[in-house]
Amino acid sequence: MAIFTAYDNSEILAALQDAAPHAEIHVNDKIAREHSANGNAQREIAGKILAYVAVSDVADIQGVLRT
């Protein structure tokens, strides 16, 4: 048996903010589309882009990857 924890979008965004406090987290659909994989990410995934995260330091990159 496998158990998976479900998180809602606000919990995921809060975890991202905690893990990468210096990052810019954009939840605006237009901004996410423009910046994610040169604007092509939405065509490559089955769901909706939750956020575009712009990081500027190594600690924030590591925090985002851990989230």
Segment 41-54, tens digit of pLDDT:
556 666 677 888 88
Closest CA to 28 of 56, 60, 53: 53
pTM of the model: 0.69
Identify the pLDDT of residue 67: 79
Enumerate residues 6+ apart whose C-beta is below 8 A from 46: none
